[in-house]
Chain A
Amino acid sequence: MKAIKIIKKNKLLFIIGFIYLLLLIVSPDKASKAVGNSVYYLKEMVMIMPVIFLLTVVLEALVPKEVIMKSFGKDSGFKGNVLALVLGSVSAGPIYAAFPIGKTMHKKGASISNIVIILSAWAVIKVPMLANEAKFLGVSFMAIRWVLTVLAIFIMAYITNIFVKNKDLPKNEVEIEEGIISIRDEYCIGCGMCANRMPEYFKMEDKKAVVVRENPDGREVELAVAEVTKKCPAKAISFYTTS
């Protein structure tokens, strides 16, 4: 069972491994050539990966995201657009992790154009990824694509704002019960923060967090869960309490 789980988790890796194995039997020459071709990219990746890791960490720790999120009024204007760009650029995780965050910000008054900016910036212009892009495609390639993309994002935000009005966005609220922890696993990016901090309440299963105990007891534990909920980078945990 465990073996199946590991294979499922690394599907692509096992498929590629299997192809190499076949190749090794059919044509060892080609197999060693393919490995040789990969090694160059592997080396480059190993050299740049710690940089990407550190940049991701530093941005997460140094950029006051909560302060930025508070400064999105309806009339935040161009400054709001730039802040949206910054917020999207410094965040980690795939684009779908940005959906709940964008939704929350829209509820708090962020405009349609700022939501488009956050989502697009989140998707395309990750700051740590710029190091990666410069490494494999060259600095001028990276710089020009960055400038053009930022321009495109602003134009797209402007156009979307003309066609989409606030009423076009669904208001569907997921019913959550008071005092019960729940996770929308489609948004969990599997960082493991919750399981690390509160192993009695969360654990990791197949790269996703799951709730182990859904009703925390005691004021202190409730506060701790609320803190983890707030800290979740994908805003995938829901928990509220009125007490």
Chain B
Amino acid sequence: MDIFTIIFWVIAIILTVMSLVKDKKKTFDSMKAARGIMGGMMGDIVAIIFLIGLILTFIPPETIKTVLGGANSLMSTVTSAFVGSVTLIPAFVAFPLVGSFVDSGAHIIPSVAFLTTLTMVGVVTFPLEKKEFGLKFTLIRNGLSFVFAVLIALTMGVIL
């Protein structure tokens, strides 16, 4: 286990103990709820992890590098942002998925664009959002999220 995982473990355990001391019943209640949510995602999580194995086996790193490796390729960034917008997978598994791409040579700009639009822009959830908040709000929020996802990605490319 690397040092950061250990640090996260320590933090999580300390907080859990604090929470148990403070309110045992509430802690157990939220454990039940969290178990329900995560249990429901388990199938997708395992599936995506084994999908990563397939991708890494069949798509050679050279291909990933050529398609997603160009630092200045606006095209690959905007495409990644689009793919992220229409995909609906738990953010949970998006990190190992994107991590595997980065490990194989994908540049971080399209990776960040994908990660950010994946969660912030919702094409699939658009109708639901529109029903609650109206067309104008939903269009502006999703549109801005898309633009800012690309901006965040480009900025990260400059910093990292």
Question: Is the Cβ of A141 less than 8 Å from the Cβ of B108?
Answer: yes
Question: Is the Cβ of B128 less than 8 Å from the Cβ of A58?
Answer: no
**Bound Cα distance A172, B137 (Å):** 15
Interface of B, secondary structure class, is helix
Question: Is the Cβ of B56 less than 8 Å from the Cβ of A134?
Answer: no
Q: A16: CB under 8 A from chain B? A: yes
Q: In the complex, what's the smallest C-beta–C-beta distance from B94 to chain A, in angstroms? A: 9
**Contact residues on B (Cβ < 8 Å of other chain), bracket:** 35 or more
Q: B45: CB under 8 A from chain A? A: yes
CB proximity to B under 8 Å, residues A129-154: 129, 131-137, 139-141, 144-145, 148-149, 152
Q: In the complex, what's the smallest C-beta–C-beta distance from B147 to chain A, in angstroms? A: 9
Question: Is the Cβ of A45 less than 8 Å from the Cβ of B45?
Answer: yes
**Contact residues on A (Cβ < 8 Å of other chain), bracket:** 35 or more
Question: Is the Cβ of B144 less than 8 Å from the Cβ of A159?
Answer: yes
> Considering only CB atoms, which chain B residue lies closest to A93 in the complex?
B37
CB proximity to B under 8 Å, residues A1-46: 9-10, 12-13, 15-17, 19-20, 23, 30, 33-39, 41-42, 44-45
Question: Is the Cβ of B125 less than 8 Å from the Cβ of A124?
Answer: no
**Bound Cα distance A150, B33 (Å):** 27
Chain A residues, Cβ within 8 Å of B122: 95-96, 123
**Bound Cα distance A160, B99 (Å):** 32
Q: In the complex, what's the smallest C-beta–C-beta distance from A165 to chain B, in angstroms? A: 9
Using a CB–CB distance below 8 Å, which chain B residues touch chain A?
A: 1, 4-5, 8-9, 11-13, 15-16, 18-19, 22-23, 26-27, 29-38, 40, 43-54, 56-58, 90-92, 95-96, 98-100, 102, 108, 111-112, 115-116, 119-120, 122, 125, 128-129, 131-134, 136-137, 140-141, 144-145, 148, 151-152, 155-156, 159-160
CB<8 Å pairs between A and B, sample of 22: A12-B51, A33-B57, A34-B50, A53-B34, A54-B15, A57-B31, A62-B18, A93-B37, A99-B133, A100-B132, A123-B120, A136-B99, A137-B98, A140-B160, A141-B160, A144-B160, A145-B116, A152-B151, A168-B137, A193-B29, A193-B33, A193-B36
